[in-house]
Amino acid sequence: MKKKKRSQIIKLVLLISFLILFGRFIYSSIAALEHHQQNKKVIIERGENHQMK
């Protein structure tokens, strides 16, 4: 009985850890995408300003 309960606790801890890790991955992916799009926009604006001069 003790061994079964211990394995259930271990599985629960691993599941929670995985969910936290997965959530952080999703969050960082969204932030990286926004950062990439913002940098792309700045580069395009610089190119347009350079052509106007």
pLDDT score, position 13 = 98
The most distant pair of C-alpha atoms in the chain lies apart, rounded to whole Å, by 79
pTM, entire model: 0.65
pLDDT score, position 51 = 67
Residue 53 has pLDDT above 60, yes or no: no
Between residues 53 and 34, the one the model is more confident about: 34
Taking only the tens place, the pLDDT of each residue in 1-48 is: 578 899 999 999 999 999 999 999 999 999 999 999 988 888 887 877
Residue 52 has pLDDT above 80, yes or no: no
Spatial CA neighbour of 15 closest among 7, 27, 5, 4: 7
CA atoms 12, 17, 22, 23: torsion sign: positive
